[in-house]
Structures are given as structure tokens and as C-alpha cells.
Amino acid sequence: MKLRDLTELAVRNLRESVLRNSLTTLGVAVGVASLVAMLSLGVGLQQLATSRLTKSGLFDTVFVTPKFNMRGGPQSQAGTQQNTEPRLLDEEARQELAKLPNVIEVFPQIRFPTEVRFDEKPYPTVVAGMPQSSQQSGSFDGMVGTFFSGESADEAILQIEFAKELSKDTNSLVGKSISIRYAERQPLADGSGGFSIIPKEKQLKIIGIVETEPASGFGGFGNGRLLIPLGVAQSLRATQVNDLRDAVRGGPAKPTYANLTVRAKSTSDVDAIEASVKKMGFGAFSLLDASKSLKIFFGVFDLILGLFASLALAVATLGIVNTLVMAILERRREIGVLKALGASDGDVKTLFFFEAGVMGFLGGIGGVIFGWLIGRGLNLATNIYLKRRDLPSIEVSSVPAWLVFTAIAFAVVISLVAGLYPASRAAKLNPVEALRYE
Amino acid sequence: MTPTSGPTDAVSIQLDHVSRHYTLATTAIRAVDDVSLTIRIGEFVALLGSSGSGKSTLLNLMAGLDRPTSGAIRADGKNLAELSSLELARYRRNTIGMVFQSFNLLPRMTLAENVELPLRLAEVGHDERDARVAEALQRVKLDKRTQHRPSELSGGEQQRTAIARALVNRPKILFADEPTGNLDSATGESIMNLLLEIRSSLGMTIIMVTHERPLAEKFATRLAIMGDGKLLSSGEKQ
Ligand SMILES: Nc1ncnc2c1ncn2[C@@H]1O[C@H](COP(=O)(O)OP(=O)(O)OP(=O)(O)O)[C@@H](O)[C@H]1O
Ligand SMILES: [Mg+2]
């Protein structure tokens, strides 16, 4: 028989026992729906986690330190292995790092202790310089006020805990001015690498308050609670921890960085960049390994969800087998007639096979729609819950295109497998016996 | 196909010592026992015999629905015993047509769809089908009922539909197993007249099983009588 005739006959046979066949199809749909819902939850949570982590800058950055740091331990071991000349992490090195392939930006982490004067009272705290790119990190998403207007704007964003120290009504602080006192480092005229420290003061305008801790990236020595543009932070030339180290070590008076953060285009570039940085003679460190284990975790998570859903699908499969076997009993006579009219065993087999496939296909489509709705429901429920707690909304469930197609294909394949036995039984039916009237 | 009004000399079906045995537990049932018979193209053979004498079994063997335990069946130049099940299906599809006592129309299909079924199986092109279905239903005078379901028809009309279905693929041999068994005698006669008319206009060979001797004597060109699986008489009508 031709494909078109087979399809027509299969669809027509399915329509004949609408109730039974739609119940079977519904069974498939429920199986597929649970599969889709569970996997969409897995995918959604994974996307959520990775997007948060990617935004946080933890997984697309390489943290660069000079080889001769005071930590010793594993890093100096790595140094002996690589046999490269230790280098100073200076401006020249920074330019070089910025030229590495797939590097978006290189910036130092600048943090220094300061004393803030506000309302005639002193408040000790730590200043952190924030690159403009940190606006996209997600840390500033729920902030009050605005982000820095520019790299060298004399503006400050307060971390909420610090803002609470300054005033009970934190929101009223936005727009007010504060002054910070810090120790400026001035190189000595003798070129010895030593420097003198001079107290300085700078006026800043508070433009925002943030609840998260944007400066809590790794490698810092404490979270900055007063955030200023990185450009401003650099221009202050405030004394930092490594300055003392430089002075003790002696040598040229060139200022060096305690560390540099290299941001890669994507997480997949991190490995290569880390390797190049090490080759240049610096210590390099990234959190990529952590993201790898995260992927493994979600892989296992998906697998477990998928296993549960497969149970539902297995039940659906039995439903198809049952429906088709019942159909053979009911349609014995019809099969006999078809064979008497010249249908081959193969024709009858394909017909039953097609019916199973059509049920699987329709069940697959229905299941994807159900599953998607369940996912929407989960999202809605989660977001209502989050809203009650004043938290920003998230997407816990996501149905990507590949899941749609895989689920439908899966349903069809499962149904065809379920149709194997009934189809071959129908094909083997003896027409003489099938036609003998009862 | 040239219309002929009677039997010719060319052989349509030849049975050569055909037996069909069923073994139930220890006893062997000889449903068809060593039957030899030659049927020529254009003949209208009536198979008579008491119930259980093996008429249906023999018909099914000739129709390629069953295989003999021993013996050879040559139909339309082919030895059915040597055909694969696929080739046997092709034989049923292209060479023969079948009509049953209980009509065996598919209840949820319209008349037109029932009649179209053999064309689907034979992979006849869609453009040709409608005309062939209409022609077959016209021949049995049911061209006004094409969209009806079998249950909406009388027994005679259902049997005429079944005949149209058997004819639509222009078979060379028509097998009928008690086609009038479920019909009253007047309707039975009209069915017989229809078969006779088809035979003469299409030049078909007809082999019909029946209980009704008078009907057979009136319409068939030859009476073959079976008893206990054996062919008691294969003589042509005097
Ligand atoms: N599948 C089978 N298994 C066992 N015996 C069978 C089988 N089919 C038919 N028989 C036996 O073969 C014999 C002939 O059966 P068949 O149906 O050919 O008779 P028939 O002449 O057509 O009778 P009727 O006029 O009642 O239709 C019967 O005795 C029947 O019981
Ligand atoms: Mg019989």
C-alpha cells in the first residue's frame, strides 16, 4: 500500500474508536508531558544557575597575580613546573594581557581602607573600584538609584549595610554628598621604589544603594562597601597592600598591580587564556572547574528527572500495546477482510504500526503542550512565591526547541516499539480463521 | 478483456490431488481429500454438498487464503503452492475477487470507501479510483448510495456492494461462498442474475459455493458436488 493510503486508513481506524484511542493517546501525552515538564525544570534551573554565575563574572574571568606573591604553596609549585621567568604585574603586563585573544577587558581589583565623613561623623570602611562592565553582572539589577555615569565620575554607590550605618532612611542618602579620606602613595624622588604616604580627601556624590555585594569576587581581601568607578579608584593612587611588598622588595619604582582580573569573551575561552597567562609568567586562577562540576550536577539532575518521567512513559507504552492488542481482537474480521482483498502480511503490519505511530505523534504533541503548560504553572507559582517575599522573578522552567522535537520523536519511537508486537500479531492472523463467522 | 458468453477451452484453475487436513489432537480431519478438478475460463461452477463437506475449505484453497496439505493448485498459470505469502497476497489482490455469505463490508466505511479498498491495496492511482469505484457501483445499481454506510442498506444491497468491491479490480476469477445464504430467495435470484450478467460482460470465471441446489441448477454452467472432503461429481450440467 502507498504511504498516503496507509496514513488515511490508520487515521480513519483511530477515529473509529475515538474514546479508546484518545485515552491511549492521552496516556502517551501524560507520559511525554511529565518528561517535558521535568526536563524543562532541569533545563530552566540550569539556565538560571549558569546565567547567574556567568553574569557574576566568576566563570568568565581569569584572576592574574604576580608569581612572587606571599602565598607560596601550590602556585609557586606550578611556577617551578612551568619554568618561566616571574614578572612584575605592571602597566606593560596589563596591556599585554589585554591583547590576548578573546579577552574583553583587564582591570585591577582596587580596594583600600578609608574613612568616610558624612554628616560631620567618621565611618571607617573599604572602598572598591568597580569596572563599568560590572553593571551587567546582575549584582546591580535590583539597586536603588543609578549606576555610575562614567569611568571617572565622582560618584559612589553604597552597599546597603554600610548605608544603614549612615542613615536609618537609606533611600534618602541618594543624591547626598560624602567625603572619603585615604592614604595617597607618592613615590620618593630618589627612585628607590620607596614612597611616602600622604593623607588625602575626596568628595563623592551618592547615586545609588545596592543590596547585593558586587565587590565580593574572589581574590579580594574583604568586600568593598563603598563602590566607586574603577577609573576614579585608580586615579586616587591610594595605598594598597602590595605597595608595601613592592617597597620591601626594592627595585624599580614602577607601580605594580596586586592582581588583575581578565575577562574572557565566554567561559569556553577561559582555559586558553589561563594557559597563556601562565606562559607569560604570572600566576593564574579561574573558577572554571567549579562550573564544570555544576554541569555534571545538572546532568545527573536531568537524568534523575528523566528517569521518573520515563516511568510515566513506560506506563503509556503499555497503554499503547494494550490498545492495539485489543484492537486486533476487535478487528479480527476486518483484518481477515483486508487479507482476503489482497492485503499482504506486511500491509497489515504497517497499518497497525502506523496507527501506533500516529498515536505516538499526536500524544507527543499533546504531551509537549501539557508539559509546557506545567512548566508555565511552575514558573507562575514560583514567581508568586518570590513576589510575596519581594524577590525578583525568575524562570525556573524552560522548554527549548530541542526538547520539543526530542520529546515528539521520543513519543513516536516509543509508540512504534509498543506497536511492534501487536502489529506482527495482526499480520500473522490467519484470514480463514478471522473470516469464519461466529 | 473480450466479453464472452460462455465457457472456453482455456484452463482457469486446475486442482491436482489437492488435500487439506487438519490435525486435532490425535484425529486427522480430512476437510478436503484428494480433489482433482479442472475449471475453464468463463465457467460458472457451483460447488454443492452437505454442511461440513469441505466446500469452503476448497474455495479458500483456490482463493489463496489457505495452503493445501498436499497436491497442486494451478490458477491463472501459477502454482499457488509455490508462491510466497507476498505473492499469494498479490494473487488475491490482482487475479481474484471474493464474495462472502456475511458480506464482510467494513461497517464504518461508506459504500464508496468499501469498494475503493481493493484499489488502495493494489496501489491504483488516486485519479483513476473514483471512476472505477463509480463504475463498479453503477454495475450493481448502487450508484445513488455511494455515501451510505453498509448498515443503512438491505441485505441484498450489501451483497451487491460486496460484489462491486470484488469486481472493482477487474479480477479474472470470482469466488463466492454462499453469496445468497443470508438473503431471501427473490433477492438471491437477483444476485445470481447479477453474477451471470457480470460473467458474460466481463468474461470472468465464477466459482460459487451454495446449499441451494435449485439456484445452482438454474444459473451455474456446471455443478461440482462434494461429500466428506471428496469430490463426488464434477460433471457439467446436462
Ligand atoms: N481450522 C479448522 N480446524 C479443524 N477443522 C476444520 C477447520 N476448518 C474446517 N474444519 C473442518 O473441515 C471440514 C470442512 O469444513 P468447511 O468449512 O469447508 O465445510 P463446508 O462444506 O463449507 O460447510 P458449510 O456448508 O457448513 O459451510 C469440517 O468438518 C470442519 O469442521
Ligand atoms: Mg462453508
pLDDT tens-digit series, residues A129-184: 888 877 776 677 778 888 888 888 889 998 888 888 888 888 888 888 898 888 88
Percent of chain A predicted with pLDDT > 90: 9
How many Cβ atoms sit within 10 Å of the Cβ of residue B94?
16
pTM above 0.95, yes or no: no
- Is 60 exceeded by the pLDDT of residue A230? yes
Q: Closest residue (by CA) to atom 28 of ligand 1?
A: B52
Question: β-strand B11-24 against A226-229: which pairing, if any?
Answer: unpaired
C-alpha separations of B19 from A13, A73, B23, B70, B149 in Å: 38, 96, 13, 5, 40
- Looking at the structure of chain A, the number of domains it has is 3
Same-domain pairing of A127 and A202: yes
Mean pLDDT (chain A) is 80
Give Cβ neighbours of residue A396 (< 8 Å, ≥ 6 apart). Answer: A41, A44, A45, A48, A378, A379, A382
- Is 80 exceeded by the pLDDT of residue A73? no
Instruction: Say how far apart CA A236 and CA A198 lie, in whole Å.
Output: 11
How many Å from the N-terminal Cα to the C-terminal Cα in chain B? 28
Q: What is the pLDDT of residue B48?
A: 95
Contact B104 A435 (CB under 8 A): yes
Q: What is the pLDDT of residue A19?
A: 84
Considering all CA atoms of chain B, what is the largest pairwise distance in Å, rounded to the nearest integer?
55
Q: Is residue A236 part of a domain?
A: no
Q: Residue B55 C-alpha to ligand 2 middle, in angstroms? A: 6
Cell numbers linked to A272: 586558553
B87 touches chain A (CB under 8 A): no
B226, B47 Cβ separation under 8 angstroms: yes
Per-residue pLDDT of chain B (238 residues; tens, 9 = 90+): 444 456 677 889 999 999 999 988 888 899 999 999 999 999 999 999 999 999 999 999 999 999 999 999 999 989 998 899 999 999 999 999 999 999 999 998 999 999 999 999 999 998 899 999 999 999 999 999 999 999 999 999 999 999 999 999 999 999 999 999 889 989 999 999 999 999 988 889 999 999 899 999 999 999 999 999 999 998 754 4
Q: Is residue A239 part of a domain?
A: no
Handedness of CA A399, A403, A409, A415 (dihedral sign): negative
Q: Which domain holds residue A273?
A: 60-107+257-286
Q: Is residue A88 part of a domain?
A: yes
- Is 80 exceeded by the pLDDT of residue A217? no
Question: β-strand B96-99 against B78-79: which pairing, if any?
Answer: unpaired
The ipTM of this complex is: 0.92
Handedness of CA A315, A321, A322, A323 (dihedral sign): positive
- What is the b/e burial string over A267-290, where b = at least 16 CB atoms within 10 angstroms of the residue's CB? bebbeebbebbbebbbbbbbbbee
Instruction: Say how far apart CA A395 and CA A402 lie, in whole Å.
Output: 18
Q: Indicate the SS3 state at residue A92.
A: helix
How many Cβ atoms sit within 10 Å of the Cβ of residue B222?
18
Q: Residue A96 C-alpha to ligand 2 middle, in angstroms? A: 98
Q: Is residue A248 part of a domain?
A: no
Q: Is residue A241 part of a domain?
A: no
Q: Indicate the SS3 state at residue A33.
A: helix
Cell numbers linked to A68: 612572587
Same-domain pairing of A221 and A165: yes
Last-in-domain residue among A188, A214, A230: A230
Q: In what order do the strands lie in the sheet with B11-24?
A: B27-40, B11-24, B70-75, B78-79
Give Cβ neighbours of residue B197 (< 8 Å, ≥ 6 apart). Answer: none
Q: Is residue A238 part of a domain?
A: no
Same-domain pairing of A152 and A101: no
Q: Is residue A249 part of a domain?
A: no
Q: Which residue's entry shows cell 546565567?
A: A51
Same-domain pairing of A98 and A154: no
A220, A127 Cβ separation under 8 angstroms: no
Same-domain pairing of A186 and A307: no
Q: What is the pLDDT of residue A82?
A: 46
A2 touches chain B (CB under 8 A): yes
A277, A62 Cβ separation under 8 angstroms: yes
Contact A435 B89 (CB under 8 A): no
Same-domain pairing of A82 and A30: no
Cβ burial, residue B53 (10 Å; 0-12/13-18/19+): buried
Instruction: Say how far apart CA B139 and CA B152 lie, in whole Å.
Output: 20
Same-domain pairing of A114 and A183: yes
What are the phi and psi torsion angles at A91 (to 5°)? -60, -40
Same-domain pairing of A146 and A201: yes
Same-domain pairing of A131 and A224: yes
Q: Is residue A77 part of a domain?
A: yes
Cell numbers linked to A414: 516509543
Handedness of CA B86, B89, B90, B95 (dihedral sign): positive
- Is 50 exceeded by the pLDDT of residue A219? no
Q: What is the pLDDT of residue A251?
A: 55
Q: Indicate the SS3 state at residue A102.
A: coil
Ligand 1 pocket, B203 CB below 6 A? Answer: no
Q: In what order do the strands lie in the sheet with A282-285?
A: A103-108, A260-264, A61-66, A282-285
- Domain CATH code at residue A90: 3.30.70
The alpha-carbon radius of gyration of chain A (Å, integer) is 34
Ligand 1 pocket, B106 CB below 6 A? Answer: no
Same-domain pairing of A39 and A114: no
Same-domain pairing of A196 and A85: no
Same-domain pairing of A125 and A66: no
Q: How far is A362 from chain B (nearest CA, A)?
A: 22
